[in-house]
Amino acid sequence: MEIIAVCNQKGGCAKTTTAINLAAALGLSGKKVLVVDNDAQGNLTQSIGVKEYKHTIYDCMTEDLSIKDAVVKTEFKNISIVPADLNYSNMEMAFARVEKNEFLLKKAFEKDKIQYDYVLIDCSPSLSLTTVNALVCADSVLIPLEPSIFNLQGLAQLINVFKLTMNNYNNKLKVKGVLLTRVDSRSNLSDDFAEQLKEIFGKKLFDTMIHQNVAIVRSQIEKKPLAYFDKNSKGHKEYVSLAKEMIKRG
C-alpha cells in the first residue's frame, strides 16, 4: 500500500481533479484505491457524489476512530472514500494546543489495518496542520503544478515544509512526482519554460501532463470521474497515462 498526498498550497491547481481522476484510472486498471478528502471544502466528497456517510476524516482525528470506520464505497470501480465536510474547518482550532497534533491522521491510519494498493489524500490549499498531518502519514507526495513562473515561486515554500516534515516527523517521505496540470499549450507552456521545468525537477517531472479539457469541468458538474462521463476524452486518456507512469515508477 502506498499513501500519496496530493499537495500544493496554491489554490485551484487541480489537486482534487487529479485525486479523483487518477483514482478512477487506477481503479479501472484493477488497483484498489482509497481517496481521502483532507479539505473542509469537501470538493472531493461532492464531486464523487457521496452524500451519505456516518463519519468524516474529522471524526477519525477527533474521536479516536480509525480510517476504516469512515470509509464509504463509491459506485465507481475499486474506489472508496473517506469524506470531509465543513465541520473539518474546526480542526485547526480544536487541535492547536494538543500535543503531537501532527500525528492525528497517522494514528487513525494505524488503528485498523486497511488494504488498498493506493491511498490518495487530497489536501487543502494551505500548509496548515491538516496538510502536515497528511505529509506525516504519507509515503510520498504528488505535486500538481500549473505551469507559471509565479507558481514556481510558491513551490519553494512547499519544499520547505516537506523538508521540515521529513526532518522532524517522517523521514521516509519522498516526492513521487510533479505533474503539470491545466496546461494550455498555446499560452502557458512555451518550449523554453518546459525545458526549464525539466532542468529544475529532473526525473521527478512526470512525462504525462494534463491539458486544459472542458470535459473535466463537465464531469465534475455530473459528480463523476471523467472516465465515467467521457472515457474518450483527452483528459481521461491523460490520467490513464499518468496512472501507468505511476505504476511503472513503483
Ligand X SMILES: Nc1ncnc2c1ncn2[C@@H]1O[C@H](COP(=O)(O)OP(=O)(O)OP(=O)(O)O)[C@@H](O)[C@H]1O
Q: Which residues bind Mg ion (CB under 5 A)?
A: 15-16, 43
Could you tell me whether strands 79-82 and 72-73 are parallel, antiparallel, or unpaired per DSSP bridges? antiparallel
Q: Which stretch binds ligand X (CB under 6 A): 15-23, 30-38, 130-138, 194-202?
A: 15-23
Contact call for residue 212 and ligand X (CB under 6 A): yes
Q: Which is nearer to Mg ion, 7 or 65 (CB)?
A: 7
Binds 86, which of Mg ion, ligand X, none (CB < 5 to 8 A, cut-off by type)? none
Contact call for residue 39 and ligand X (CB under 6 A): yes
Among 3, 4, 7, 15, binds ligand X (CB under 6 A): 15
Contact call for residue 16 and ligand X (CB under 6 A): yes
Contact call for residue 125 and ligand X (CB under 6 A): yes
Among 14, 50, 127, 246, binds ligand X (CB under 6 A): 14
Kindly list the strands in the beta sheet with 140-145, ordered across the sheet, starting from the edge strand earlier in the chain.
72-73, 79-82, 33-38, 118-123, 2-6, 140-145, 174-180
Contact call for residue 84 and ligand X (CB under 6 A): no
Among 31, 182, 224, 236, binds ligand X (CB under 6 A): 182
Contact call for residue 89 and ligand X (CB under 6 A): no
Q: How many residues bind ligand X (CB under 6 A)?
A: 19
Contact call for residue 213 and ligand X (CB under 6 A): yes
CB of 168 to Mg ion, least distance (A): 26
CB of 111 to ligand X, least distance (A): 27
* Burial grade of 49 (CB within 10 A; 0-12, 13-18, 19 or more): middle
Contact call for residue 70 and ligand X (CB under 6 A): no
CB of 123 to ligand X, least distance (A): 8
Q: Which stretch binds ligand X (CB under 6 A): 50-58, 150-158, 194-202, 205-213?
A: 205-213
Binding site for ligand X (CB under 6 A): 11-17, 39, 43, 125, 181-182, 210, 212-213, 216-217, 220, 235
